[in-house]
């Protein structure tokens, strides 16, 4: 008997036994087939991963065992739809690892990581499978494939080559070993950042130490203290707590303590990442080298819009060098203001900058985040963001109460197209908690696809860390948080509008440096008076936001634009420095970072602090050699939004074209082609520099 067929039978028997009791493996009875979060328990994950991997291997084995001539259908399409159970399980588990984790899930993740790496190697280093893919690839021009089919074939072939398919057996073993070690190292990095963030609390018992803090920050601090069983007030390194404390506290030493705690996260102690950073970089150097690339950056950028590190380095330099003088002037202006108002030191320290820049902004534009918050009640902002999508694209959102959620804070909406057709389920998780990592992001529990003529519509989610409602006030968000909401919602629209056959080519499955275009273009509406006037009302009085406040928002839009641009480019520059190495530097993690950034520093360096040890984007979040893409996408969106400005910010002809050429296409074509199809030309950095006012 064929051993592969026998193995497949054993796998299917295993899956059948698991499915009887595991909600991760049975067909959901929830509306639209949504995940049954109300039934999922920690004990379900490991068996589900084991069953999913067994099923996926059986499906791969069936492709290999097929005696027919390799074709696009029996090889490439069959691979695309293999492992769906595993993908579903992973899609739920890893999303909840970020949004609602616990200690047991962290342990499961460590158990599962080598299993998934082994499965990945089972596919990518499967010589007979690669031979079938190669056979189809070599006759691709005569197959009469559609654009998306050709893209899928080319992506698959490149993926095998980039995954080590052409390596010798000895090198395949090394590649597999290093990949597994890298997977565990990035997991350890992420775990340490979360633990280090949660381990710090600034406990205040003297009310005098609350000087300068707005009432909402004090209330939040009191509630956090109560949650932790402490007297007085407690402030954490979660952004909604950390950021306003640095902005408003007049107690400089406490600001210093908070800033230092945040910027020494995962440096030393039980959650130390300094050696893990070097381990990750070393493993990436080895992997790139064995695959034939000079550096990991060369490997990572090959399938992105920028294509190579020379382009990225030139791009960063083109923006960074002219922005530097504007950034230095921004810092000098804030320092001059601070000195006029009692600051006695010769230079601002990092823990001073948020405080004095906020005061300066209030004086220069008579604008403060605290003054604006009453006009941005979260519920009103939700309606406004949905309403913007309705106005641009004709879609509607209806809140559902019969779809299971993974936490009581989560809301679920059905999204329908203008013709009433179901488009997606949209999950919104807005508030911080200890089980959620910091920041904001969009993700999906299921992407869009079509198989055997049956379409599956997506389950899209955004996760944020906005200020929670208090006993005395509803959830009020800052204008910055509204901008963040619009940003993540832009990603969500990319997933919601997905239209295609193949899950790996739909939605946000695009080049890393293209994926931020749909999100960053949405931020523009946060500064458009016509849009703000449509919803911003005082939560107590119902009075519309005064025209002068909107004027100040618009006027302040480019406040510290030079400083902000250089800061963002710093991150991209540091990322490229780590991933352009051919060997580990002699310096330690902290020293390497400080040496790298010194030529472009606009603030004093603080001994013992570093960002690398908590730089989750590049060391555990998929942005390795890709952080530049935020600025890259800003250039794209500045050029793209100029068309809205020309035709009208609610122009449905422009939004329709954006949906058709960008949002619905996913990765079915090269990103450069998709952009030109929408805009008619290639983007230039000039559009962004002019938008930010960074031109002489």
The DSSP-derived string for 447-489 is --EEETTEEE--EEEEE--PPPP-SSS--B--HHHHHHHHHHH
Query: Position of tokens 């963030």?
Result: 197
612 in Cβ contact with 574 (< 8 Å): yes
Q: 537 and 375 in contact (C-beta within 8 Å)?
A: yes
Q: What is the pLDDT of residue 1?
A: 39
How far apart CA 372 and CA 545 sit, in angstroms, is: 9
pLDDT score at 21: 85
Residues 461, 446: Cα–Cα separation, whole Å? 10
The pLDDT assigned to 687 comes to 86
Please list the active-site residues: 488
Q: What is the dihedral of CA 490, 492, 494, 499, to 10 degrees?
A: -150
Please determine, looking at this structure, whether the domain spanning 374-560+630-691 carries the CATH number 1.10.1370.40. Answer: yes
Same fold flag, 3-166 and 374-560+630-691:
yes
**Domain extents for the chain?**
3-166, 200-263, 374-560+630-691
Q: What pLDDT does 6 receive?
A: 47
DSSP, residue by residue, 540-601: TT-PBPPHHHHHHHHHGGGTTHHHHHHHHHHHHHHHHHHHT-SS--SS-HHHHHHHHHGGG-
Q: Which residues contact 290 (CB under 8 A, 6 or more apart)?
A: 164, 167, 171, 174, 175, 178
3-state SS assignment for residue 258: helix
The Cα–Cα gap between 514 and 58 comes to 35
3-state secondary structure of 411: strand
Q: What is the pLDDT of residue 12?
A: 53
- Domain 3-166 sits in CATH 3.30.360.10: no
The secondary structure of the chain in percent helix, strand, coil, rounded to multiples of 5, reads 60, 5, 35
Q: Which of 592, 593, 575 is nearest to 631 (CA)?
A: 575
Instruction: Give the model's pLDDT for residue 543.
Output: 96
| β-bridge mates for residue 412, sequence order | 400, 427
Alpha-carbon gap, residue 235 to 475, rounded angstroms:
18
Q: Which residue has the tokens 């902005």?
A: 247
* 10-residue stretch averages of pLDDT, the chain, 696 residues long: 48 54 95 97 97 98 97 98 96 96 94 93 92 97 96 95 92 94 95 96 98 95 96 95 97 98 97 98 98 96 92 95 96 98 96 97 86 95 98 98 97 98 98 91 96 96 92 91 97 97 96 92 97 96 95 91 96 98 97 96 95 96 92 94 95 98 95 94 89 92
> Beta strand 454-456 with 422-429: parallel, antiparallel or unpaired?
unpaired
């Amino acid at each position: 008997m064929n051993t592969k067929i026998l193995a497949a039978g054993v796998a299917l028997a295993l899956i059948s036994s698991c499915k009887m009791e595991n909600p991760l493996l049975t067909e959901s009875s929830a509306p639209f087939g949504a995940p049954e979060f109300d039934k999922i328990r920690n004990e379900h994950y490991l068996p589900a991963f084991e069953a999913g991997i067994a099923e996926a291997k059986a499906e791969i084995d069936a492709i290999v065992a097929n005696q027919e001539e390799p074709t696009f259908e029996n090889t490439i399409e069959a691979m695309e739809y293999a492992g769906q159970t595993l993908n579903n399980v992973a899609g739920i588990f890893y999303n909840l690892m970020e949004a609602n984790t616990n200690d047991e899930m962290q342990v499961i993740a460590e158990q599962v990581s080598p299993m998934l790496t082994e499965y990945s190697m089972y596919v990518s280093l499967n010589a007979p499978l690669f031979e079938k893919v190669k056979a189809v690839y070599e006759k691709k021009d005569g197959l009469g494939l559609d654009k998306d089919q050709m893209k899928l074939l080319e992506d698959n072939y490149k993926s095998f080559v980039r995954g080590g398919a052409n390596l010798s057996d000895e090198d395949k073993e090394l590649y597999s070993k290093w990949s597994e070690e890298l997977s565990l190292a990035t997991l350890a990095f992420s775990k340490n950042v979360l633990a280090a963030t949660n381990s710090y609390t600034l406990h205040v018992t003297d009310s005098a130490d609350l000087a300068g803090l707005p009432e909402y920050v004090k209330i939040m601090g009191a509630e956090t203290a109560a949650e932790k069983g402490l007297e007085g007030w407690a402030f954490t390194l979660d952004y909604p707590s950390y950021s306003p404390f640095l902005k408003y506290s007049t107690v400089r030493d406490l600001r210093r303590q908070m800033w230092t705690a945040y910027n020494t996260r995962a440096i030393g102690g039980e959650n130390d990442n300094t050696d893990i950073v070097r381990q990750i970089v070393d493993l990436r150097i080895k992997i790139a080298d064995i695959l034939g690339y000079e550096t990991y950056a060369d490997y990572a950028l090959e399938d992105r819009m920028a294509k190579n590190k020379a382009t990225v380095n030139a791009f960063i330099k083109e923006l960074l060098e002219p922005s530097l003088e504007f950034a230095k002037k921004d810092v000098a202006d804030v320092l001059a203001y601070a000195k006029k108002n009692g600051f006695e030191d010769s230079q601002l320290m990092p823990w001073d900058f948020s405080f004095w820049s906020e005061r300066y902004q209030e004086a220069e534009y008579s604008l403060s985040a605290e003054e604006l918050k009453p006009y941005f009640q979260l519920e009103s902002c939700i309606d406004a963001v949905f309403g913007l999508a309705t106005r641009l694209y004709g879609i509607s959102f209806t809140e559902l109460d019969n779809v299971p959620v993974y936490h009581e804070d989560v809301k679920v909406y059905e999204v329908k197209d203008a013709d009433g057709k179901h488009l997606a389920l949209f999950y919104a998780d807005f508030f911080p908690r200890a089980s959620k990592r910091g920041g904001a992001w969009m993700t999906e529990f299921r992407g869009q696809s079509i198989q055997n003529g049956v379409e599956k519509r997506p389950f899209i989610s955004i996760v944020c860390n906005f200020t929670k409602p208090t006993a005395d006030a509803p959830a009020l968000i800052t204008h910055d948080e509204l901008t963040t909401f619009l940003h993540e919602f832009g990603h969500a629209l990319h997933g919601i509008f997905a239209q295609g056959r193949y899950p790996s080519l739909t939605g946000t499955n695009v080049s890393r440096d293209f994926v931020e275009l749909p999100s960053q273009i949405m931020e523009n509406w946060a500064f458009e008076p016509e849009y703000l006037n449509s919803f911003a009302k005082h939560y107590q009085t119902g009075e519309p936001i005064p025209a002068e406040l909107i004027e100040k928002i618009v006027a302040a839009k480019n406040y510290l634009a030079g400083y902000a641009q250089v800061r963002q480019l710093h991150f991209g520059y540091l990322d490229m420095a780590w991933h352009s190495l051919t060997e580990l530097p002699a310096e330690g993690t902290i020293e390497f970072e400080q040496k790298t950034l010194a030529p472009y520093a606009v603030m004093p360096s603080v001994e013992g602090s570093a960002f690398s040890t908590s730089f989750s984007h590049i060391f555990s979040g998929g942005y390795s050699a890709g952080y530049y893409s935020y600025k890259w996408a800003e250039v794209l969106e500045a050029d793209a939004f100029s068309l809205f400005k020309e035709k009208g910010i609610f122009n449905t002809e422009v939004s329709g074209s954006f949906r058709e050429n960008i949002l619905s296409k996913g990765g079915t074509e090269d990103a450069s082609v998709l952009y030109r199809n929408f805009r008619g030309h290639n983007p230039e950095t000039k559009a962004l520099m002019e938008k930010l006012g960074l031109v002489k």
